[in-house]
Amino acid sequence: MTEIQGHAARALLAVLRGRSLTAVLDDVRSRNPRLEANERAAIQDLAFGACRWLGTLRAVLTQLLRAPLTDAEVEALLLVALYQLHWTRAAPHAVVDGAVRTCVALGKPAAKGLVNGVLRNFLRRREALTAQAQATPEGRFSYARWWIDETRAAWPEQYAEILDAGNLHPPMWLRVNRRRGDAQSCRATLAQAGIDAEPLDAVALLLAKPMPVLALPGFEQGLVSVQDLAAQYAAPLLDLASGQRVLDACAAPGGKTAHILELCDVELLALDRDAQRLDRVRANLDRLGLNARLRAADAADARAWWDERPFHRILLDAPCTGSGVVRRHPDAKWLRRPGDIAQLAAEQSRLLDGLWHTLAAGGKLLYVTCSVFPAETESRIAAFLASHDDASRLALAGLPAGGQLLPDTRHDGFFYALLQKRPAPAD
């Protein structure tokens, strides 16, 4: 317990100091090779849980302290332990005792009495403390106040449901590789291994219970990939045909790249600014038995990579706040800043403008973000259409009007807009 709490507390503190939780946990695994798989999983669960409920945990902790803590490590430890006591099934005495001993492991023996007293006080007053924590928006929803305000301004009738959905544990969807099977045959394979799954269509399967990907039958052989249902709309919406030249402009980690190639025989170029992230794309394609041309480049600077041959289809999965997938990345709630929205919107416009002239006349560009903030979604497309008279927006079959999928119990939050360039005039 002590080692797990200590690693989780350090991970939470690193997030609060600006580091990605994924990167922090990768460091924990690489620097502590002796950790067992169950220990790594426990550290991840505590770190993710503390990030997910940080606003509520802070509201509770404030009530338990006479004055704000000046020691950030001790505060992070208390937040992790409070998460354990309120949201997990860990034995309370083991959590409290472990946290006290973790003080010594962190080099903070003087904090033992404080930690012991705060946690025991919480156990005595749990219901009253948690009820009082709900009195503020930050405690009720567990987001930064600016994020709550932004969501409420955009979705005044649905903001509470959107924020609550972001605190759920995400469902685990599979995408079957159409070149190797379909949802029904894959479901039968999973059932033989005692895994229950619900097919939605020819390729999408919802697991009844999330599980490690390497435990999935056929995963390493390229039968299935893990991909949220909302993300699975991208490739079919491109309206692909064999022989087309297709660009995936911001490809890493490669889920949508692979889906395109599973559906159709196309000539595909996958770009990403980060060469290391392209390694993940290549690994995904190799596992699935697929092939594409990969290149590290800034998609908006076409002069650096384009061969002047127009693309029939372009997928622009643009960088964004990730406000629609925050349940998968709860650290984003605390890493993002209010000014990020405008900065990312400017980058999205730069990419749209830079890519448009690489699209063939009559070609289609699918703009995608995993956001629920209008500046990154509807407003971005409206601004683009206002400045490009050769662009029109097409209807999207099977999606809500406007192309906005809000996060719910079945899928993440995504936005889609399909744009078509005016066809060339007939001779």
Per-residue pLDDT averaged across 181-189, rounded? 94
Please tell me the CATH code under which domain 231-421 is placed.
3.40.50.150
Superfamily of domain 173-226: Sun protein; domain 3 (3.30.70.1170)
> Which pLDDT does position 424 carry in this prediction?
72
> Which pLDDT does position 41 carry in this prediction?
92
* Backbone dihedral angles phi then psi of residue 204, each to the nearest 5 degrees: -95, 130
How many whole angstroms separate alpha carbon 60 and alpha carbon 58?
5
Helices 72-87/92-105 angle, 10° precision: 160
Instruction: Please provide the DSSP assignment of 53-64 as one string.
Output: THHHHHHHHHHH
> Which pLDDT does position 69 carry in this prediction?
92
Radius of gyration for the alpha carbons in the chain, expressed in angstroms and rounded: 24
> Which pLDDT does position 42 carry in this prediction?
94
Do domains 2-142 and 231-421 share one topology? The answer is no
Per-residue pLDDT averaged across 406-417, rounded? 96
Per-residue pLDDT averaged across 64-77, rounded? 94
pLDDT above 80 (res 426) = no
> Which pLDDT does position 427 carry in this prediction?
56
C-alpha pair distances (Å), 112 with each of 6, 9, 67, 79: 14, 15, 17, 15
The residues annotated with a catalytic role in the active site are 370
pLDDT mean across residues, the chain = 95
Per-residue pLDDT averaged across 235-261, rounded? 97
Instruction: Please provide the DSSP assignment of 249-272 as one string.
Output: TT-TT-HHHHHHHHH---EEEEEE
Which sequence spans correspond to the domains of the chain? 2-142, 173-226, 231-421
Which residues on adjacent β-strands are paired with residue 369?
415
Query: Which CATH fold would you assign to the domain 2-142?
Result: N-utilizing Substance Protein B Homolog; Chain A (1.10.940)
Which residues on adjacent β-strands are paired with residue 417?
367
Cβ-Cβ contacts under 8 Å for 152 (sequence gap 6 or more): 159
Q: What is the pLDDT of residues 288-338, one digit of tens each?
A: 999 999 999 999 999 999 999 999 999 999 999 999 999 999 999 999 999
Cβ-Cβ contacts under 8 Å for 169 (sequence gap 6 or more): 210, 327
Which helix (H) or strand (E) covers residue 293, if one does? strand 293-296
pLDDT above 70 (res 363) = yes
| Nearest alpha-carbon partner for 316 in 272, 374, 263, 261 | 272
Q: Among 37-41, 119-123, 347-351, name the one with the lowest average pLDDT.
A: 37-41
213 close to 226: Cβ distance less than 8 angstroms:
yes
Per-residue pLDDT averaged across 98-112, rounded? 93
What global pTM score does this model have?
Answer: 0.94
pLDDT above 80 (res 403) = yes
